[in-house]
Amino acid sequence: MADADIWQTPLAYLKGVGPRRAEVLQSEFGLYTYADLLEHFPRKYLDYSQVTPLSQAKPDQEGVFRGRLGSFQVRPLSGGKRTVLLTTLYDGTAWMELVWYQGWEWVRQKFSTGQEVLAIGRPVYKKRPPLQLAHPELIPVGNQQPIEKLLRVYPVYPSTEKLRQLQLDNKRFRMLFEELYRLTHFSREDPIPAHIRETHQLLPLNHALKAIHLPTDVEETERARYRFKFQEFFLLQVLLIRRKYFLKTQYTAPAFTQAGPLVKEFYEKYLPFPLTEAQKRVIKEIRRDLALSTPMNRLIQGDVGSGKTIVALFAALIAIGNGYQVALMAPTEVLAEQHARSFRKWLSPLGIGVGLLLGSTPPKQKRRILDQLRSGELPCVVGTHALFQKNVHYARLGLTLIDEQHKFGVKQRASLWEKAHPYRPHNLLLTATPIPRTLALSVYGDVDVSIIDELPPGRQPIKTLVRTEAQRKEVWNLLRAELEKGRQAYIIYPLVEESEKTDLKAVEEGYEVIQQTFPQYSVGMVHGRMSSERKELAMQRFKLGQDQILVSTTVVEVGVDVPNATVLIVEHADRFGLSQLHQLRGRVGRGQYASYAIFMAPNNPSDTAMQRLRALVEYQDGFRISEIDLKLRGPGDFLGTKQSGLPEFKMADIVEDQAILRQARQAAEDLVSQDPTLQTYPALLHYLQAYAQKHSLELFTA
């Protein structure tokens, strides 16, 4: 086995790298050491046996091309100080230009006019046809070396312009890995225990690394790719399952042994609507968790309008009834304000006060809330990041409710939980984004998941339409017909945080257009840059029917319940995620009337945009839509944040590799249940420590 210290050697010391290339590898891909380079995996492979005819070559698409070399020419570059080497490749039907801008002496020495070769690279157009291949890798083909005997698999690594400028191309990477193999034989401690490798028929680490970087066989490379997909899932699952284990065994939470009189009184006197069977089931699951002295860590998932908030309220009533405080944290002020309104409406008949703590809360009001939280006088507080600031102290924090957890970082959530010291509070997570089971396992693998899979009775199906700008008149006619029936409508404009001023302009211009188009109706407007009071006033006017049309950004994605609203028009719908559009659609269809969601696209939308929007026409089920959204956008974009605690997978694909994820999770569960401290698996523990540090994940230790 190679000396463990060799893997921490800076890349600049590897033959063929040097200081300049090391600097670029660091800035472009975060590669510092020999160990980092080992995990810089190819993004795909070309098979030498799959030769592309020159007539079918496409610009910017790597390929393996076979043909005969033309005559060689050396020409001066503009300015005359440097020269280039040019030749052609001809396969009997079409031709391509080959060019070397520097370091081409070896080509002249090794190859000759008329020689048959394989040329490997990415062709481009230079001003005019034919295609040109710069610095191709050339491999001679002939009687002495038939193509079948050649190295068949060609790794293609991620590249950038800076790497290309320093000739850090695929050929160079292979040379670097050949040198690294000469020094180390890729000999490292294998983090996957031998019995798991044997059960799942995984290649040992050094064999897999050689098959990945220096492949000689397509099948062996596929086995190596399988091993690394399994490894990526396995490491994350071990971390998450250990976190779950240590939460249950190392932390104590207050046990709420009684449901308490508040629950009974609210259920019998003030419950605004009958609970669905799904809601009752989830409340029972929460009730069981809260009765234990181990911290609850449960996620409630449900489709738009499934009634997650009322379920969270029952959890709050149990905590308050047992003499503890509740903190509900939401990612935005608008959402926090909405939750505060709901909780006040439901809790005030029981004489329970609800505070609202935001960054924008006036100082005098903030001081009063902080004093009441410290003394225990205030049993429930709703807020944003303000809830875990240093100056916030709770008398007896027993339950945290976190809405859209993936929008908060791991450290932010931990900062709120630390406020309950010496306890760890019970924790209930809410998400209005239905998350496919596979992604839920990856992101929320350390929590128990409850799904509210039933909508309250009386919800109307929503007719979903996709229309282009050319069909604007038809859309206005439909809207006018609904307004004439006395109904109301939302018109939504996209909000892109990077350009708030542009967004504000779009909403304000849209507001003016709507006023001019529908002069006989009252039009309201809401956007994120308005004060809380003005937003609240505009939403109340719409809710009371004083405004018939509400022009808004996505602030109404959650929180406004207007049964009389039957039309939702989303402008530039192609700029939204599918799950977000589905949530917006849930603003209508809340009453007894048929409702419409109309998604507006530009006149010539891309195929991808139309594919996404058609999914909304076809499906009303949020979980089905979220699976399509995840497939189209990938997990990073789907979650809308890099803070979620989900590392970027280099080899694995959450959507395509679900079967491997399930196997890796089962293996992780079996391992952690047998040895949660991993004392008998030092190689795995050592690897996990580096992995957790690299991805800013919490590594629990005994």
pLDDT tens, residue by residue, 47-79: 776 788 998 988 888 888 999 999 999 888 766
Query: Once rounded to an integer, what is the mean pLDDT over residues 381-398?
Result: 91
pLDDT-derived band at 193, boundaries 50, 70, 90: very high
Question: Helices (H), strands (E): how many in the chain?
Answer: 23, 23
32-52 in b/e burial notation, b at 16+ Cβ within 10 A?
bbbbbbbebbbeebbebeebb
Q: 220-234, 251-265, 373-387, 421-435: which range is least confident on average?
A: 421-435
More confident residue, 545 or 418: 545
Q: What is the CA radius of gyration of the chain?
A: 31
Given the structure tokens 């994820």, which residue do they identify?
A: 661
> Which pLDDT value is given to residue 303?
74
β-strand pairing of 488-492 with 549-552: parallel
Asked if 204 and 170 touch (Cβ cutoff 8 Å), the reply is no
pLDDT band at 696 (very low <50, low <70, confident <90, very high): low
- Residue 260's region, left for phi above 0, alpha for psi from -120 to 50, else beta, is left
Helix axes 658-674, 218-250, angle to 10 degrees: 50
Give the pLDDT band (50/70/90) at residue 593.
confident
* Predicted pLDDT at 642: 45
Going by pLDDT thresholds of 50, 70 and 90, the confidence category of residue 292 is: very high
537 DSSP assignment: H
Share of the chain above pLDDT 90, in %: 44
Instruction: Tell me which residue of 169, 178, 44 sits closest to 650, measured CA to CA.
Output: 44
Is the pLDDT score of 132 beyond 80? yes
DSSP 387: G
Residues, the chain, total?
A: 702
Q: What is the CATH number of domain 49-150?
A: 2.40.50.140
**Domain spans of the chain?**
49-150, 261-452, 462-623
pLDDT bracket for residue 540 (50, 70, 90):
confident
The pLDDT of 162-190, averaged and rounded, is 89
Q: Can you tell me the mean pLDDT for 576-581?
A: 83
Residue 196 has pLDDT above 90, yes or no: yes
Lowest mean pLDDT among 12-16, 136-140, 552-556: 552-556
For the record, the structure tokens of 554 come out as: 């996505």
Q: What is the dihedral of CA 583, 588, 589, 593, to 10 degrees?
A: -170
If one compares 44 and 370, the residue with the highest pLDDT of the two is 370
Task: Give the Cα separation of 12 and 18 in Å (integer).
Answer: 4
Closest among 150, 180, 167 to 66, alpha carbons compared: 150
Describe the crossing of helices 607-618 and 622-639 by its angle, rounded to 10 degrees.
Answer: 140
What's the CA gap between 86 and 74, in Å, rounded? 6
- Angle among Cα 314, 538, 484 to the nearest 5 degrees reads 105
Pairing type for strands 137-140 and 116-121 reads antiparallel
Please tell me the distance from the alpha carbon of residue 462 to that of residue 471, in angstroms, as a whole number.
20
The CATH number of the domain covering residues in 261-452: 3.40.50.300
470 three-state secondary structure? helix
In this prediction, residues 488-515 reach a mean pLDDT of 75
Whether the predicted pLDDT of 213 surpasses 80: yes
Q: Are strands 128-134 and 95-100 parallel, antiparallel or unpaired?
A: parallel
Neighbouring C-alpha atoms within 13 Å toward the C-beta of 258: 9
Label residue 180 by pLDDT band (50, 70, 90). very high
Asked if 318 contacts 287 with a C-beta cutoff of 8 angstroms, the reply is yes
Mean pLDDT lowest among 103-107, 142-146, 278-282, 546-550: 142-146
Cross-strand pairs, 10: 33
Please give the pLDDT value at position 673: 93
Closest of 532, 167, 219 to residue 383, by C-alpha: 532
C-alpha 135/C-alpha 171 separation (Å) is 10
- Using one digit for the tens of pLDDT, what is the confidence trace for 88-119? 999 989 999 999 887 788 788 889 999 998 89
Phi–psi pair at 572, nearest 5 degrees: 50, 45
pLDDT at 489: 95
Query: Does the pLDDT at position 147 exceed 70?
Result: no
Q: Which value, to the nearest 10 degrees, does the dihedral of the CA atoms of residues 254, 258, 264, 265 take?
A: -60
Whole-number percent of the chain with pLDDT over 70: 89
Rounded Cα distance between 87 and 113, Å, is 9
The pLDDT of 685-691, averaged and rounded, is 86
What tokens appear for 435 in the block? Answer: 């998350």
> Does domain 462-623 correspond to CATH entry 3.40.50.720?
no
The reported pTM is 0.71
pLDDT at 639: 57
Does position 701 have pLDDT exceeding 90, yes or no?
no
Distance between CA atoms of residues 358 and 328, nearest Å: 12
Report, as an integer, the average pLDDT of 270-290.
Answer: 92
> Closest Cα partner for 495 from 566, 614, 584?
584
- Supply 426's token pair: 């019970």
- Return the minimum-mean-pLDDT range out of 18-27, 330-339, 352-361: 330-339
* pLDDT for position 655: 74
For residues 534 and 525, give the distance between their C-alpha atoms in angstroms, rounded to a whole number: 10
pLDDT tens sequence across 610-654? 888 888 998 887 778 877 877 776 665 665 544 455 667 888 887
Contact assessment for residue 665 and residue 238, using Cβ atoms and an 8 Å cutoff: no
CA distance 556 to 525: 11
The two domains 49-150 and 462-623 share their CATH topology (first three levels equal): no
Average pLDDT, the chain: 85
